[in-house]
Structure 1
Amino acid sequence: MALEIDKIEGAVVVSAEGQMNSGNASAIEIDLLAQVDKGERRVVLDLSLLSYISSAGLRVVLLLAKRLKQVDGKLVLCGLQPKVLEVFEISGFLGILTVAASRGEALLLLR
């Protein structure tokens, strides 16, 4: 699992590549929540290169969304591949998270 973190148009864009599972979820959680602790309030989570997400990975995404909400921030997910999208659908998370088709659309939603 690799995370690439960039600052684009005043937002933090985190690109996740590989699999987000119980073996790496805690390290990913630390990296993502550190962004909020540094004062970031607008976050795009680009999952276009994510091939798999487990319940542990879903928990990390939910924790990030909750932490951002607590500080009046916003999270937008983008680029969900069909298998990953299906996991978000089954879990019911699509009803509580903001999802965009592309990184550009996600950045527009954060303006």
Structure 2
Amino acid sequence: MNVTIKEQDGNMVAFLAGSLDTAAAAETEKAMSPLNDVKGKDIIIDCTDLEYISSAGLRIFLGILQNAQTKGGHVYIKGINDKVRAIFAITGFSNIFQFK
């Protein structure tokens, strides 16, 4: 699992690549922790190269969303493939997140 965070067009963008499974969750959560400090910018989680997400990965996304909302921010999910989109739909997360 690879995570790269960059500021882009006034937003903070996290680019994810690989499989966000239970084994990768702790390292991924640590790599994404700078997003918890974001204030005054939208957060975009770019999942174009994300192959799979487990419930542990969804928990990380939810934590980022909840933290951003307490600061008046927004989190958007971008570029998910059909497999990942199905996981969001089955778990109800497609009703929680906004997609670009």
Same fold per superposition (TM over 0.5): yes
The match for 2:50 is 50
Structure 1: gaps of 5 or more residues:
101-111
- When residues 3 and 40 of structure 1 are mapped into structure 2, their CA distance, relative to the original with a 3 A threshold, is farther
Q: Which runs of 4+ in 1 moved over 3 A?
A: 38-41
Say yes or no: does 1:18 pair with 2:18: yes
Mean Cα displacement is larger for which, 40-49 or 62-71?
40-49
Separation in 1, partners of 2:33, 2:65: 10
* TM-score (ref. length: structure 1): 0.83
Say yes or no: does 1:81 pair with 2:81: yes
CA root-mean-square deviation: 1.4
Aligned length: 100
Structure 1 residue 25: Cα displacement: 1.1
Identity between Structure 1 and Structure 2 (%): 28
* TM-score (ref. length: structure 2): 0.92
Separation in 2, partners of 1:28, 1:10: 23
Structure 2: gaps of 5 or more residues:
none
